[in-house]
Amino acid sequence: MAQERGNRKMITILSIDGGGIRGIIPATILDFLEKELQALDGEDARLVDYFDVIAGTSTGGLVTAMLTAPNEQGRPLFAASDITPFYQEHCPKIFPQVSAGPFTGIVKTVKQLFGPKYDGKYLYKMIQEKLGTTKVHETLTNVVIPTFDIKYLQPIVFSSFELKNDKYLDVKLLDVTISTSAAPTYLPAHRFTAHGKEYNLIDGGVAANNPALLAMREITKELYRENPAFFPVKPLDYRKFLLISLGTGTQKQEEKYNAEKASRWGALGWIRNGDSNPLIDVFSQAIVDMVDIHISVVFQALNSENNYLRIQDDTLSGDASSVDISTKENLDNLIDIGKKLLDKPVSRVNLDTGRNEPVGNETNRGALKR
C-alpha cells in the first residue's frame, strides 16, 4: 500500500497515544475522519488507504492493529466506526469493576501489592479471536508499535520497515498488541517466543506513550535508505510530512497531585493514590508532552505547522482521566468528550511557554476536513 502512495506529494502519518479505556477518544475522532474520506471516495474507503504509516502505543497499538489487520478479502478487519462499539463491549470485561464497599480500597491496594490489577485473560482471548495468526508483515499499511523488553531493559519497536533487516520482528500481531498493552501494575507482562527468540515485554508507553516521533524516525530511516516508496524526498525534509497525532486526554486544568503530598509517599504511595497510579501517570504524560513539544518546534521552525495536527484534550477530570474505570457511564462520557473535542479550536505548543494554546478560528473538525 505504501508503494501505491509513493507518488503523493506528502508522506502521511497517523499516530495514536496510549491511555487505556481513553482510547475511545481517538476512536471517536477516527470514525469522523474515515466518514469524511468515505464521503469523498466511497463507502469502501478505509484509513489504511490514506496513511503511509500508522503508529500506536498501548491502547493506540490495539487500535492500530484493528485498523490494519486484513480480513479474508484483504481489506481491514475493522472499520473506524467499529472501534468505539468494540471498546464499549469489551472494556468492562477487560477491566472488570469491583463493587464499592467499606473495604474496597484496602482490597484493591493489597491486590496490587502482590500482582497486576487485572489478569489480562479476557484481553488475550478476545484479541486472539480477532487477530488469529496474522503477522506484522501482513498489515495493510506500515505499522510502528513500541514495546519494552524488561529482560534487557530496552525498547523493542515492531516496525514494518525493519522486517527486511530483522526477521525476528515479524511476529504475531496478537503478541505485539498484548505486549504494548501490558501496563505495569495493571496488566501482566507478556512472554513469548518467535523465530527461536524469547521476548519479555511490557507496555510501550514506558518508552513512547506518544509514538509520533517514532513514526517520523522510521520514515526518516527509509528516506535515508532511498526506499522507492518515498524517494526522492530528502531524509530531513519534514515539510513533506503530514502528521495527525491523536491523544487520549489528560488532566491538567485541576490539581491531581502536589509536592506536599508526594513528599510523604514511599513506594506504595507512588504506585497507588486513590484509584490512580501516580508513577505511571507522571512518566507517561511526560513522554507524551515532550514528543509533542519536539515535533511542534520542528514543524514551526520549518514554517510547516499546518502539516502537524495534534488533537488532545487536557481538561479531563474525575473518572474520565482514569485508564481503567470501565463503567457504562464513563465510557459514554468519553465518547461525548471525543465528539466535543472535534469542535474545539486547533491547539499548538507555544514555543515560549511550552503550553498548548488555541490558534486561529479553525476547529479540529475543520482541520481534519482540510
Q: Give the domain ranges of the chain.
A: 11-254+263-369
Query: Yes or no: is domain 11-254+263-369 CATH 3.40.1090.10?
Result: yes
| The predicted structure's pLDDT at residue 256 | 77
Q: Which of 58, 159, 160, 179 is catalytic?
A: 58
Chunk the chain into consecutive blocks of 10 residues (it has 370) and report each block's average pLDDT, rounded to whole numbers: 52 96 98 97 96 97 98 96 97 87 58 80 97 96 98 96 88 98 95 95 95 96 88 85 96 79 88 81 87 93 94 92 94 97 93 83 94
For the stretch 17-44, pLDDT in tens is: 999 999 999 999 999 999 999 999 999 9
Nearest to 16 by CA among 34, 29, 35, 32: 29
For the stretch 3-21, pLDDT in tens is: 345 445 789 999 999 999 9
Residue 144 CA to residue 59 CA, distance in Å, equals 13
Q: Is there a catalytic annotation at residue 49?
A: no
DSSP string, 221-285: HHHHTT-TTTTTS-TT-GGGEEEEEE----B-SS-S--HHHHTT--HHHHH-BTTB-HHHHHHHH
| The predicted structure's pLDDT at residue 212 | 98
Cβ-Cβ contacts under 8 Å for 266 (sequence gap 6 or more): none
Q: Are 146 and 180 in contact (CB under 8 A)?
A: yes
Residue 306 has a CB neighbour count (10 Å cut-off) of 14
The per-residue pLDDT of the chain, averaged, comes to 91
Residue 130 CA to residue 365 CA, distance in Å, equals 31
The phi and psi torsions of 187 (rounded to 5 degrees) equal: -135, 150
| The predicted structure's pLDDT at residue 149 | 97
Q: Which of 203, 289, 292, 324 is catalytic?
A: 203
SS3 at position 45: coil
Q: Is there a catalytic annotation at residue 317?
A: no
